[in-house]
Each structure stands twice: as structure tokens, then as C-alpha cells.
Amino acid sequence: MSLEGRAIGIALTGSHCTVPEVVPIIDNLVESGAAVTVIMSASVASTDTRFGKAQDLCEHLERITGNQVIDTIAKAEPIGPKRMFECLAVAPCTGNTLAKLALGIIDTVVTMAAKAHLRNGRPLVIGVSTNDGLAGSAPNIGTLLCKKNVYFVPFGQDDPLGKPNSLVFRVSDLVQAIELALEGRQMQPILVDNRKR
Ligand SMILES: Cc1cc2nc3c(=O)[nH]c(=O)nc-3n(C[C@H](O)[C@H](O)[C@H](O)COP(=O)(O)O)c2cc1C
């Protein structure tokens, strides 16, 4: 399956070390002909970190995709009524956004985008990236695994000895997980060996 011509939303949340790994995937998606719009959580849109400057990221993504970044709840609301995306991926998804998605708390740009998108019965793909994946976030991952139209990018422990509770999705599986979600299928195996070597 190809994503050529498909309308895809990619929502970035504040796993700031993972965002730069997702940017080349977005570049490739656009090159392969997908119509991509990026959504940014407030922390991604406003935080300069050692991994890069927020404004540079925003400018790059707007230039590459040709679409304005969605960075307010008001801009995210039309995603539902306008049926903007065939698939929306939240990747990386922080422990914070995971918790809100699991509990139906809609007070951020990305949770608004997800809620608006899910109302149309369309697939939401989650790429979890959080140091407490096997601790505080574990119940939220479990809740979302059981939700209709929610799929996960395969994930695993990235540093079992150094950060035993940390889970990170496999960035290189993001596109395939989206392709399968568009067919109503969960990419398998969900649990992968994701140690950085
Ligand atoms: C440099 C840096 C790296 C971070 N990395 C992560 C991360 O990998 N996973 C995570 O869940 N939170 C991480 N955080 C914390 C989130 O950015 C923070 O919880 C924020 O409130 C998330 O908001 P959002 O989910 O709306 O983007 C990081 C924060 C900073 C400053």
C-alpha cells in the first residue's frame, strides 16, 4: 500500500529527543506524495531544547508540507467537521498526552485533534515515547490498547537497564503502522526489541 494522495495528520508532542527522528519520516511521507499536515503541542511549538529550536522546526515543517502547522485548539477543531485526515498519528506521544487521551481530557491542541478525528471513526495511531511507560503511563497504554480505532506503532524498552520503565516506539515502523491502520489493522508484533545499539 502507498500513502500517495492520502491525507495524513502527524501530531508531535513534547518528547523533544524523539521529534528530530520523526522529521525525516515526515519529509519522506511528503516526498512519496502524501498530503501531510503537522499538529504541534504547545510544548513542541514553544520549547527550544538542545535538540533544536521550536521556530526552526515549525518553519521546516510548513515549508516541506506546504500546510500551516496546527498549533491551537481553535485550529484543531475543524479536523472533525472537515474530515481533514484519513489517518492521524500522534508520534511521538508523551506520557502526558497519553494520559489525557486515555481519560478523555481535551485541553490541548493534540487531544483536540485526536478527539475531532476519532469522531469520524477514522484511525488514530500512537507512537508512545515516555520514561514511565512501564510505570505511571502503563495503565493509560492499556486503556488505549482497548479503544476502538486506536492503533500503536510497535514499541519496546529502549534502555532496559538504564531506564527500566522507558518505552519508545520504533520510528522506522511509523509509516507502515499508518498504512495498516488505514486498513483497520494493528501492525504486529506490537512489542519489539527497541534497544539502541
Ligand atoms: C528536553 C525534554 C525532553 C522531554 N522528553 C519527554 C519524553 O521523551 N517523553 C515524555 O513523556 N515527556 C518528555 N518531556 C516532558 C514533556 O515535554 C512534558 O510532560 C510536556 O508537558 C508534554 O506536553 P505535551 O504532551 O502537550 O507535548 C520532555 C521535556 C523536555 C524539556
pLDDT value of position 197: 61
φ, ψ of residue 150 in degrees (nearest 5): -110, 130
How many angstroms does the Cα of residue 178 sit away from the middle of ligand 1? 23
State the total domains in the chain: 1
CB 9 within 8 A of CB 30: no
> Residue 27, Cβ neighbours under 10 Å: how many?
15
Q: Which domain holds residue 161?
A: 7-182
**Does residue 178 form part of some domain?**
yes
**Cβ contact 25:171 at 8 Å:** yes
- Ligand 1: nearest atom to the Cα of 109: 26
Confirm whether 164 is domain-assigned.
yes
Which atom from ligand 1 is nearest to the alpha carbon of 42?
26
Which contacts (CB < 8 Å, 24+ apart) does range 15-20 have? Answer: 15/92, 15/93, 15/94, 15/129, 15/130, 16/43, 16/44, 16/47, 16/49, 16/51, 16/52, 17/51, 18/92, 18/127, 18/129, 18/168, 18/171, 19/44, 19/51, 19/52, 19/57, 19/92, 20/51, 20/52
Specify the pLDDT at position 2: 87
The pLDDT of residue 125 is: 99
Strand partners, 118: none
What is the pLDDT at residue 154?
Answer: 98
- 116 inside domain: yes
Q: Which atom of ligand 1 is closest in space to residue 168's alpha carbon?
A: 8
What are the pLDDT tens digits along the chain (197 aa)?
789 999 999 999 999 999 999 999 999 999 999 999 999 999 999 999 999 999 999 999 999 999 999 999 999 999 999 999 999 999 999 999 999 999 999 999 999 999 999 999 999 999 999 999 999 999 999 999 999 999 999 999 999 999 999 999 999 999 999 999 999 999 999 999 998 76
For residue 196, being part of any structural domain is answered with no
Site to probe by mutation for ligand 1, drawn from 18, 49, 94, 101 as the one with most ligand atoms within 8 Å of Cβ, is 94
Residues contacting ligand 1 via CB (< 6 Å): 13-18, 41-44, 49, 94-97, 108, 129-130
Residue owning the nearest CA to atom 1 of ligand 1? 16
Q: Give domain status of residue 165, yes or no.
A: yes
Q: Distance between alpha carbon 176 and the CA centroid of its chain, in Å?
A: 13
Place of cell 467537521: 81
- Cα(70)–Cα(60) distance, integer angstroms: 14
Identity of the amino acid at 62: E
CATH number of the CATH domain containing 124: 3.40.50.1950
**Three-state SS at 178:** helix
C-alpha 153 to ligand 1 mean position (Å): 19
Q: How far is the CA of 16 from the centre of ligand 1 (A)?
A: 6
For residue 189, being part of any structural domain is answered with no
**Measured distance CA(94)–CA(63) in Å, rounded:** 25
In a domain, 171, yes or no: yes
pLDDT of residue 131: 98
126: which strand partners?
Answer: 90, 152
Q: Structure pTM? A: 0.98
In a domain, 195, yes or no: no
- Tell the burial category of 70 from Cβ atoms under 10 Å away from its Cβ (0-12, 13-18, 19+): buried
- What's the 163 CA to ligand 1 centre distance in angstroms? 16
